[in-house]
Amino acid sequence: MQKNHRIIQNAWCWYDWANSVYALTITTAIFPLYYSQVTPEIVSFFGWQVKSSALYSYAISFSFLIAAILSPALSGIADYSGRKKFFMQLFTTIGATSCMALFFFQGNVEYGIFFITLASVGFTGAIVFYNAFLPEIATPDLYDRLSAKGYAMGYAGSVILLILNILSILKHEWFGFENQDVATRASFVMVGIWWIGFAQIPFFYLKDNPTNNVLKGKIIRKGFSELKKVARQLRFLPNTQRYLWAFFFYSMGVQTVMYLASLFGERVIGMESAQLIVTILVVQILGIIGAIFFAHISEKSSNKTALLIMLAIWIAVCISAFFTKNSYQFMGLAGLVGLVMGGIQSLSRSTYSKLIPKNTKDHASFFSFYDVTEKIAVVLGTASYGLIDHLTGNMRNSALALSTFFIIGMIILWKTPLRVSSYKIRKY
């Protein structure tokens, strides 16, 4: 594909518009609240008695663990065969159809956990191949701006669908739904349709780069051989390695907050569903502003400066959450999260894009390391959050513990020179 082609770059951004509705409606807003309402505080999961909130965090952890196991081999195969788009389509289909299957979840814990896990596998599995297209469609000087544009479009699209879903739930009779329960479950179907529908735009414009390598016989071994090749290259990229470690630790905090903040607001602060949804909408709008603002900061100073500022804010948020007592304080913290959420996601992706070798063709394999780092971070972050909640019976302790991950990531990032000699990028 031609680099810096505006139509191709815009089409790439449309996938953020398509899949971000899953991140908002399913993982952050409507599904966690619905799950909390239809399940008691203590549930039986295949005979295991466990807090429902802890079980939910364990399910998210498990889904990311599956994706972390699958994506390295698949990304290696994608690079070997040049078929990144095929695997992106495959995981998108799995995720979208699993969202639609949640329509039939009415309290059966095993059913709900199975499909929320499968939907998460689809969402996280597709991301590695989507991210890997960034170095193929743009030159390094455009990574920050393009990555921020993608996240901004994602936040905008997810807000639009969430508003439509909320309207259909509150005024269910307007849309022909029998009651709010049916309208809520129908919103999961809408997520799947929106996701797979708008994904057809990038699927049409993004092109695979066939290598003419025939996948036959031991294809898994071929996939891992591609990863070994990338691993050997990483040994000569110490700054990239250090950055991945910093990203690993602060991602443990970022992703856990994104997945479990709504449960914290409901179970600990005692907020009503309507208050939480309004708060989440504000967070998404601020996420658009934050992604664009911190991309501007990175251009004026550096990626490192912008990331360190955001990490300092994240640390303050986690410590403050421990002392938060009412909905107004929670909403104030949520506003801060919104400002740094979009920025840290978009800049993390673009920063890594600048730190991989300039002339490599193994983009999926390189981004596999990035994605596996993030997935394992989510596994450990959400699992530790759930474990602390389970053992202490108080999610405040879990929120406080997250600040440790941000502090470690900040220290590593502070000591990491974010510069690659093969790139000539001013102030980077």
Q: How far apart are CA 34 and CA 277, in angstroms?
A: 12
Span 233-280, pLDDT tens digits: 888 888 888 999 999 999 988 878 876 676 677 777 877 777 777 887
Domain carrying residue 300: 6-414
Span 162-185, pLDDT tens digits: 999 989 988 889 988 989 999 999
In a domain, 423, yes or no: no
For residue 217, pLDDT over 60 is answered with no
Rounded to 10°, the helix 52-81/84-101 angle is 160
Contacts of 85 (CB under 8 A, 6+ apart): 129, 203, 206, 207, 208
The domain tally of the chain equals 1
In a domain, 126, yes or no: yes
Contacts of 98 (CB under 8 A, 6+ apart): 115, 116, 118, 119, 122, 192
Q: How far apart are CA 67 and CA 90, in angstroms?
A: 13
Indicate the pLDDT class of residue 116, thresholds 50, 70 and 90. very high
Phi and psi, residue 48, nearest 5°: -95, 120
In a domain, 1, yes or no: no
The number of CA neighbours under 13 Å toward the Cβ of 146 is 30
Q: Residues 269, 326: contact at Cβ < 8 Å?
A: yes
In a domain, 389, yes or no: yes
- pLDDT, averaged across the chain: 83
For residue 428, pLDDT over 70 is answered with no
Q: Residues 275, 319: contact at Cβ < 8 Å?
A: no
In a domain, 327, yes or no: yes
In a domain, 426, yes or no: no
In a domain, 291, yes or no: yes
Instruction: Name the residue among 196, 194, 221, 408 with its Cα closest to residue 315.
Output: 408
Question: Where residue 245 sits, what CATH number does that domain have?
Answer: 1.20.1250.20
| Total-model pTM | 0.76
In a domain, 425, yes or no: no
